[in-house]
Amino acid sequence: GAVVSQHPSWVICKSGTSVKIECRSLDFQATTMFWYRQFPKQSLMLMATSNEGSKATYEQGVEKDKFLINHASLTLSTLTVTSAHPEDSSFYICSAKPSGRRLTDTQYFGPGTRLTVL
Amino acid sequence: GNSVTQMEGPVTLSEEAFLTINCTYTATGYPSLFWYVQYPGEGLQLLLKATKADDKGSNKGFEATYRKETTSSHLEKGSVQVSDSAVYFCALYRDSSYKLIFGSGTRLLVRP
């Protein structure tokens, strides 16, 4: 149990287009999901915290108008990279915290989505 | 600020060798420390955690002790297997901010 999926697993797009990445908790509900970005050989950087039914909280330096986050249900959060540019190419990872558990218990991570912008 | 530093990989070992992956951190207060593992093609999984000083977390033969005096937590396993080949992440968690701050990860390759 406690599986998180991401779709797509990889995507290639042209510069200037928008890309949507989905994060789903398959067998549990998650009021809170997190979006991370990982550059090659570097650590995961938290981009934003997504809360079901409310606006996402973005980390300092993350452009909220560029990285749109929607958490419309207890099992789905989406990240849309708008007007993508080559510098947005990266590995995007989401995690989900089961509803009702303290954050220290655990977060369940998706397998990640590799975005390449040409 | 808060930060986590991990030893660079890859670490290549023969099966049944002893493993140590070093992790140090800087933080104010009393964070919790987590170790995550990422197998090829899969998401990060919580391997073990230590929530206070001198805590020892253990799971699947792995152990890590939270050393507050040296601000470190070193992941160890006495006898690695080929199936342990993965990337291991050390992460710091702060109750005040609910954020996980990750190290850069250490890739382990175990050869038969």
pLDDT band at B95 (very low <50, low <70, confident <90, very high): low
Both structure tokens of A27:
């067998």
Touching check for A112 and chain B: CB below 8 Å? Answer: yes
Q: What is the pLDDT at residue B97? A: 62
B41 contacts A109? CB cut-off 8 A: no
Please give the span between the terminal C-alpha atoms of chain A, in angstroms, as a whole number.
37
pLDDT in tens, A54-96: 889 999 999 999 999 999 899 999 999 999 999 999 999 999 9
Structure tokens at B32: 């919790």
Condensed to tens digits (0 to 9), the pLDDT of residues B6-62 reads: 988 899 999 999 999 999 998 877 788 899 999 987 888 899 988 888 888 899 999
Place of tokens 């975005």: A115
The pLDDT value given to residue B98: 66
**Strand, coil or helix: what is A88?**
helix
Residues of chain B with Cβ-Cβ distance to A95 below 8 Å are 43-44
Average pLDDT, chain A: 90
Q: pLDDT category, A2, cuts 50, 70, 90? A: confident
> What is the DSSP code (8-state) at residue A86?
G
Q: A104 and B45: CB-CB below 8 Å? A: no
Residues of B in contact with A107 (CB under 8 A): 46, 100
> pLDDT of A10-64, one tens digit each?
999 999 999 999 999 998 998 889 999 988 777 889 999 988 888 899 999 999 9
Does residue A8 register a pLDDT over 60?
yes
Nearest CA in chain A to B46: A106
Nearest CA in chain B to A48: B99
Whether B104 sits inside 8 A of A41 (CB atoms) is yes
- Reference A95, options A50, A60, A61; nearest CA is A50
Q: Which residue of A has its CA nearest to B44?
A: A109
Please, are residues B84 and B111 in contact by the beta-carbon 8 Å criterion? no
Q: Which of residues 47-106 of A touch B (CB under 8 A)?
A: 49, 93, 95, 103-104, 106
Give which of B34, B42, B48, B38 is closest to B84, Cα–Cα: B38
* Residue A2 at interface with chain B, using a CB cutoff of 8 Å: no
- pLDDT at position B67 is 86
DSSP string, B62-106: EEEEEETTTTEEEEEESS--GGG-EEEEEEEEETTTTEEEE---E
SS3 A31: coil
